[in-house]
């Protein structure tokens, strides 16, 4: 499949417009339209930003693999573990560095938070260290660390016409809706995890 068609397919699957993709990838909307129509092919830098905005790898856009797992725990460099984040009811985020978490190869993260709860099972388990790339916005459906009245939680993030919807992976947890006036603050995007083997 051509790169442009693949970008368009992945964008539509995530329910985002060309304009939203251009904002997330820091590109002009006309440029994104040219990429998708095949008039121009994105360079390495633009392709990397588009992949980040869509929550996929550049290899997946280039169809070098059928499907890459979104999180690959391979030990490499490290980032500070700055506290806990709820995978359930929001809890107060503790800001004390308690150690360092190893980074998967090729993953850019700014800090890690320890999961507490089971609302993001099976993606994240209680005790996992979730690697967070600090950024103020995420694409719809991506997993984000968000703040609600000074408390933190980890959820799939969706913009709605009236505000924001936070959704768990575990179906026993109901989605949480917030009006625009009290929408959660996005601390960053979950880009990987470190799990201690039993």
User: Among the options 116, 155, 168, 189, which is catalytic?
Assistant: 155
Q: Do the Cβ atoms of 146 and 152 come closer than 8 Å?
A: yes
| Spatial separation of the C-alpha atoms in residues 127 and 133, rounded to whole Å | 19
Judge whether 168 counts as a catalytic residue.
Answer: no
Retrieve residue 138's tokens: 């995420």
User: Among the options 57, 119, 168, 189, which is catalytic?
Assistant: 119
Q: Do the Cβ atoms of 197 and 146 come closer than 8 Å?
A: no
| Spatial separation of the C-alpha atoms in residues 106 and 43, rounded to whole Å | 19
Judge whether 155 counts as a catalytic residue.
Answer: yes
Retrieve residue 51's tokens: 């992949």
Q: How far is CA 75 from CA 15, 103, 105, 107, 195, in A?
A: 33, 6, 7, 11, 10
List the catalytic residues: 119, 155
């Amino acid at each position: 499949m051509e790169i442009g068609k693949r970008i368009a397919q992945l964008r539509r699957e995530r329910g985002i417009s060309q304009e939203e993709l251009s904002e997330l990838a820091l590109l002009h909307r006309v440029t994104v339209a040219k990429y998708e129509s095949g008039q121009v092919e994105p360079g390495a830098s633009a392709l990397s930003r588009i992949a980040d905005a869509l929550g996929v790898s550049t290899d997946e856009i280039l169809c070098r693999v059928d499907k890459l797992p979104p999180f690959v725990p391979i030990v490499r460099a490290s980032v500070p573990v700055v506290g806990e984040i709820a995978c359930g009811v929001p809890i107060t985020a503790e800001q004390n560095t308690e150690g360092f978490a190893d980074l998967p190869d090729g993953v850019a993260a700014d800090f890690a938070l320890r999961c507490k709860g089971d609302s993001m099972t099976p993606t994240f388990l209680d005790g996992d260290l979730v690697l967070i790339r600090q950024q103020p916005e995420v694409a719809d459906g991506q997993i984000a660390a968000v703040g609600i009245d000074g408390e933190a939680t980890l959820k799939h993030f969706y913009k709605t016409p009236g505000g924001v919807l936070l959704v768990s992976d575990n179906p026993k947890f109901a989605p949480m809706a917030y009006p625009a006036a009290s929408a959660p603050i996005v601390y960053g995007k979950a880009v990987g995890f470190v799990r201690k083997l039993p």
